[in-house]
Amino acid sequence: VSVCVAPLRFGAGIKGKVLESWAVGLPVVMTPIAAEGLVDPADTTWRAAIADNPSDFAERIAAFLDPATGRKQVRAGRRILKTRFSEQAVIAALSPVLPEVFPASESDPPVLN
């Protein structure tokens, strides 16, 4: 597999298939719906990954078959994973609203059995 294709026409929330693809090192060609909440479509890094119609999808998939182009997107995607979706980022975001689950005073999250 060289490229993940996410031609989602509807959906809500964060698209796990996009995050999982970046995590395993695959670039993603996606619809604006798949990109929602993850990337800024106006950013040139992501504009090359977002497609609305079949010809745009074909063009972008072909472009990502070049490993150098794909690696650039994967690096940017992994930065998003690390800064917004890592365990530490999620705990930091949830600690203020769920202090009994994620106490701010403990360095490690509690083990849930």
Percent of the chain past pLDDT 70, that is, above it, reads: 87
Rounded CA separation 112/58 (Å): 45
Residue 65 lies in a domain: yes
pLDDT reading at 25 higher than 70: yes
Range of the domain at 31: 4-94
The continuous run of DSSP H or E covering 91 comes out as: helix 87-94
Residue 106 lies in a domain: no
Residue 20 lies in a domain: yes
Judged by DSSP in three states, 38 sits in coil
Q: What rounded mean pLDDT belongs to the chain?
A: 85
Residue 109 lies in a domain: no
Residue 15 lies in a domain: yes
CA angle 82, 57, 31 (to 5 degrees): 50
The pTM of this model reads: 0.76
Residue 8 lies in a domain: yes
Q: Domain count of the chain?
A: 1
Q: What is the pLDDT of residues 72-101, one digit of tens each?
A: 999 999 999 999 888 888 888 888 887 666
